[in-house]
Structure 1
Amino acid sequence: MIIAVYGASSRLGQQFIDAATAAGHTLRLHYRAKPSEQVPEHATVIVGSLADPTAVREVLRGADAAVVMLGHKDDARVPYIAAATKLIVSTMKTLEQSRLVVVTSAMAGESSGNVGFTMKIRTMFARRSAHDGMMEDRDEQERYVRASHLSGWTVVKPAKLTEGADSERAQMDTTVSVGAGSQVSRAALARLLVQEITTPRFVQQAVFVAER
């Protein structure tokens, strides 16, 4: 399978690259600057702005699926994730592609009954302390995906990400509960993302991820 990867330079992106490569997939990797880290031998690297339609389209060229793992840098001042996701979605429609997996956050968008009371309080304070528009950017990103009319979208909403090792205790499902102390390692999340892309279980659904 050929997978278009947005957010390849992030810590989660690096874990995803390792997991997807180990599973035998071919990757088309987007970077906003030339990568300093080593990339898999058979991966294709595309460097360009996420606001550049040509660069976004080139990443998607020939792909069977796309995964979006964008994050705000600590020093970020301008929200960009929703706009980038909107461009990716519109480009996929033009290319008649449908399989899209987007990683957001358990604190963003719709949470239904998955998020506990303490976590909701923490989310409220996080929204107040976040840089202007950053949390709203995440909310808007999720709305774009849900309303995209792509037949194969999945929104993935992980708990707090850690640097721990992969764990079979990590669970991805629509019924997973996320509390203030919930967490999941990036390695485990990457493995679950590869599984969901390869064998879709949650098409047109939002799922939460946390360790049991």
Structure 2
Amino acid sequence: MYLAIFGGTGHTGRHLVDRALGHGHRVTVLARDATKLPIREHLHVIEGDIRSAEAVARTVAGADAVISALGQRRWGTTVCTDAMRTVLPAMAAHGVRRLVALSNYGTADSRRPGVYATTVWIAIRSIMRDKERMEELIRGGDTEWTIVRPAALTDGPRTARYRTGTDLRLTFRSRVTYADVADFMLAQLDTDEYVHRAVAIGPVRD
């Protein structure tokens, strides 16, 4: 399979690239700085900005699926929203249907009344707002999308031991590794279980 990955130089993105190449996929990554990813067989890095329609189109062209692991690196940016404004038209133009995108638990319908959602929205409001707007664009587009909403992300190895579900309740104690989230996102390319659905992922036990 040929995959286009956005956010491939980030914490989750690097694990996605490693897992995808390890599974024998061909991967193209759009990165602002191509030197952040080492030269590897079956990996093609395009240097450019996610807001560039031309760079995004080059990344998406010929892909079987698109995976976005984008997230804010500077407070107050709108990188995830901006990305979908270029990625979705590029997918439509090149006939790419499958999209798996990383969001945050606490957005949209997972923003349930209580201390968790209130605290998260106060602490990282700009991030949550950006992710929520990204989700709105994805839902309004014409792709076979899956939105992944993880618990608090941490470093650590892939364990393949995690819970997922569209109505999963996560708490302040919930933690999941970047590697496990990448594992789950990549696995969505082999199933339609969560197509047109937003799914949370967290630990087996808090």
TM-score (ref. length: structure 2): 0.92
Alignment deviations for residues 18-60 of structure 1 (CA, whole Å, 9 cap, x no partner): 1111111110111012223314311111111111111000111
Contact 1:171 1:209 in 2 (8 A): yes
Contact 1:57 1:91 in 2 (8 A): yes
Give the corresponding residue for 1:14: 14
Alignment deviations for residues 114-143 of structure 1 (CA, whole Å, 9 cap, x no partner): x5833223223224xx4xx44322211010
Counterparts of 2:191 and 2:8, CA distance in 1: 21
Give the corresponding residue for 1:148: 141
Superposed, 1:86-101 pairs within 5 Å as: 86-101=85-100
Gap regions ≥5 residues in structure 1:
none
Q: CA 1:170 to 1:121, structure 2 compared with 1: closer, same or farther past 3 Å?
A: same
Give the corresponding residue for 1:158: 150
State the shift of 1:211 in Å. 0.8
Counterparts of 1:65 and 1:176, CA distance in 2: 26
State the shift of 1:79 in Å. 2.0
Give the corresponding residue for 1:69: 69
Q: 1:126 aligns with which of 106, 123, 128?
A: 123
Give the corresponding residue for 1:202: 194
Give the corresponding residue for 1:105: 104
Over the residues paired in the alignment, what is the CA RMSD in angstroms? 1.7
Matched to 1:123, the amino acid is: V
- Does residue 139 (structure 1) correspond to residue 135 (structure 2)? The answer is no
Give the corresponding residue for 1:190: 182
Counterparts of 2:114 and 2:9, CA distance in 1: 33
Which consecutive aligned stretches of 4+ in structure 1 deviate over 4 angstroms post-superposition? none
How many residues end up aligned between the 2 structures?
204
Matched to 1:125, the amino acid is: I
Contact 2:25 2:42 in 1 (8 A): no
Matched to 1:124, the amino acid is: W
Find the residue that maps to 1:35 and give its secondary structure.
Answer: helix
Q: CA 1:187 to 1:134, structure 2 compared with 1: closer, same or farther past 3 Å?
A: closer
TM-score (ref. length: structure 1): 0.89
Contact 1:118 1:179 in 2 (8 A): no
